[in-house]
Amino acid sequence: MTLLRIVYASAIELRTDEAYYWTWSKEAALSFLDHPPGIAWLIRFGTAIFGDTNFGVRFGGIVAMLVTQLLLADIVRRLTHDARAIVFAVLMPEAALYYGLLMAKVAPDVAMIPFAVAMMWSLVRLAQGGDGRWWLAAGLFAGLSMLSKFTAIMFAPAVAAFLLVPDWRWRWLRSPYPYLAVLVAIAAFSPVLIWNAQHDWASFRFQGVRATANYGISLRTIGDYIGLQFGLVGFVMLPVVLMDLVLTAWRGYRTREPVAILLSTAVLVPFVYFFFKSLTLRVGDTWPMFMWPVGFAAAAVNLVTMTKERWSARMLESSLFWIRTAIVSGIAFVIIVFLYYVAAPWNLLGKIDPIGAEAGYEQVAARAQAALDETGATWIATTDYRTYAMMRWLFRGRVPVIEINERGRFQDFRDPGMDKIKGHAGIYVGREPDDRSSLWESIPAKREQLGRVERRWRGVVTDTYVVEKLSGWTPELSPPKDSPLFQWKVLAGAYPPLEGEGRLILSAAKYEPGWGDGLSTSNTACLERSPHPARAARDRPSPPG
């Protein structure tokens, strides 16, 4: 399965967010608007070894999966001393699409997961040996997981229950180790705190809109959340793991057993939280993915614990049957998906295909190169960070690429090559209809249309781009914060009620891959793209990962 992920990582072109994180890896910034810097460091690790290749960018994900499996195996080994349970703990991630295949696609979650599991491993060591120094290790791994993605904070209720519910609570509340662990975590997380203190706490404000948003109850978003969990964790695996977690929670809180409390709470609390968020908001594909490895460990441990508790032979056989079925069917599903993307020639999902929707940028780059050759232009401009990221990835530094708006995303980025930009003509490459956005009212460049280019994957057109020549203007890297060129995407925009809906739809405009494709650089552009942008943002299916 590791070889399968290596082939996938090498063969499939980078997706837009992967290319965006790759651009981060080329910077020396302490942190970034969208996420902490862990993913940039992970990519830099891979490209330092294998260069700026698909595999080099994704190598960190291959390593992260193996480290996660080793930690899960050791957690289960320490808790059960049962070889079969250890094998189950290693194979269950392989049978879940997100881990078995898509861990090869780098994202902040991929950088976070091994550190989050390492924190759990440290607390298991603490529970078994009673050595308070394991609190410090747990604090370090907690800080490193937060240094990769903010959602790691959702393990805090599990750690609090682990500390406060068992009978040992007064021992640890009087000990300095838990408090020192918090300080260690803050120290590890300090690059993000320092960067945000220097930049008006931009990351926390940017991400906070999702935590506090309420857009009205939607059955579609609930279905998206539940459906994605079945798809990414497994159609059989998900109910198996949830059942084992419920049994583990019941056992742990009834007997005040620390590890059972820790493992079950670490999954069930985020799962329920995301479910309630899904009542009014589309939960991102990868948001819950940090928690399921802990669930796999709990499921493997629960199987052995049921045996020790002398459950009936019928129940034990049923549990074994379903966990084996989950693993066999899940691995088969992962292999089928792999073959579809790596070997099959068809596009069975059309424009909503999660890989195809972000493929074909080579066609756009080739047309941009032709325009550079025709006009003598020396740089490329874009108005969305995905096109910016893919142009930077495909041109590999041969031509300066700059996103001329949303400059708040690029704080502390290095000079892209202003000596080749200032006083020279450039090429604008942007999706239709971003070329008609009101943003251009703030840009005094002379624009000359050169043509259009379609982005295709397996015969299906997924997007159309405009190519223009820009002259008589030099983009500003650090415009004032009140400038429309500084602002990142409007965090929340209100749209009029949709016909027949009778209620106001609020659409978060932080553009997720495959979701809200109607969203652009301003509310005006959103309205120009579609007569019903709120419906498009709400109803457009989102690809896994």
- Candidates 397, 381, 389, 402; CA nearest to 450 is 381
- pLDDT (0 to 100) of residue 67: 98
Q: What is the pLDDT of residue 96?
A: 97
Q: Is the pLDDT of residue 275 over 90?
A: yes
- Residue 87: count other Cβ atoms within 10 Å of its Cβ: 14
Which is higher by pLDDT, 450 or 488?
450
Distance CA 378, CA 391 (A): 14
Mean pLDDT, the chain, whole residue set: 88
Q: What is the DSSP string of 315-331?
A: HHHHHHHHHHHHHHHHH
User: Domain locations in the chain?
Assistant: 2-342, 356-471, 492-539
pLDDT at 519: 32
- Give phi and psi for 305, each to the nearest 5: -65, -40
CB 473 within 8 A of CB 445: yes
> What's the start-to-end Cα distance of the chain, in Å?
18
Phi, psi of 382 (to 5 degrees): -135, 170
Amino acid residing at 381:
A
The torsion defined by the Cα of 397, 402, 406 and 411, in degrees rounded to 10, comes to 50
pLDDT band at 215 (very low <50, low <70, confident <90, very high): low
List 402's β-bridge partners, or say none. 381
Residue 107 token pair: 């994202």
Q: Using only the alpha carbons of the chain, give its radius of gyration.
A: 24
Q: Helix and strand tally (H, E) in the chain?
A: 21, 7
Identify the pLDDT of residue 170: 94
Supply the DSSP symbol for 542: -
Q: How many other β-carbons are positioned within 10 Å of the β-carbon of residue 484?
A: 16
Give the model's pLDDT for residue 207: 82
pLDDT tens sequence across 21-46 = 999 999 999 999 999 999 999 999 99
Range 139-167 burial, b when 16+ CB lie within 10 A, else e:
bbbbbbbbbbbbbbebbeebbebbbebbe
Q: How many residues does the structure list for the chain?
A: 545
User: Is 13 within 8 Å of 361 (Cβ atoms)?
Assistant: yes
344-371: per-residue pLDDT in tens? Answer: 999 999 888 989 999 999 999 999 999 9
- Please state the φ and ψ torsions of residue 122, each to the nearest 5 degrees: -65, -40
The Cβ of residue 342 has, within 10 Å, a number of other Cβ atoms equal to 13
- As a whole number of angstroms, the distance between CA 99 and CA 92 comes to 9
Task: Determine how many CB atoms are found less than 10 A away from the CB of residue 416.
Answer: 19
Provide the 10 A C-beta neighbour count for residue 197.
10
- Return the closest-CA partner of residue 36 out of 173, 165, 153: 153
Residues 6+ apart with CB under 8 A from 350: 460
What is the C-alpha separation between 332 and 101, in angstroms, rounded?
Answer: 12
Query: How many angstroms separate the CA atoms of 70 and 520, rounded?
Result: 42
Output the six-digit token pair for 147.
């240094």
pLDDT level of residue 419 (50, 70, 90 thresholds) = very high
Give the whole-angstrom CA distance, residue 81 versus residue 301.
10
How far is it, in rounded angstroms, from Cα 419 to Cα 421? 6
- Note whether 399 and 378 are within 8 A (CB): yes
Positive or negative: CA dihedral 238, 240, 242, 248: negative
The pLDDT score that the predictor gives to residue 131 is: 95
DSSP-derived pairing of the beta strands 505-508 and 492-495:
antiparallel
Residue 210 pLDDT greater than 60, yes or no: yes
534 versus 225: the higher-pLDDT residue is: 225
Dist CA 120 CA 143 (whole Å): 13
What is the Cα–Cα distance from 123 to 305, expressed in whole angstroms?
Answer: 19
How far apart CA 491 and CA 493 sit, in angstroms, is: 7
Residue with structure tokens 């290790």? 137
pLDDT at 512 over 90: no
Biggest CA–CA distance in the chain, Å, is 80
447 phi/psi in degrees, rounded to 5: -115, 135
User: Could you tell me the pLDDT band of residue 152, with boundaries at 50, 70 and 90?
Assistant: very high
User: Which is more confident, 523 or 206?
Assistant: 206
Query: CA–CA distance from 198 to each of 119, 191, 481 (Å)?
Result: 29, 11, 14
Query: Model's pTM, two decimal places?
Result: 0.88
| Integer CA distances (angstroms), 522 to 168, 333, 351, in order | 54, 40, 24
Per-residue pLDDT, 500:
37
- For residue 412, the SS3 value is coil
Mark residue 412 as left, alpha or beta (left: phi above 0; alpha: psi -120 to 50; beta: remaining).
left
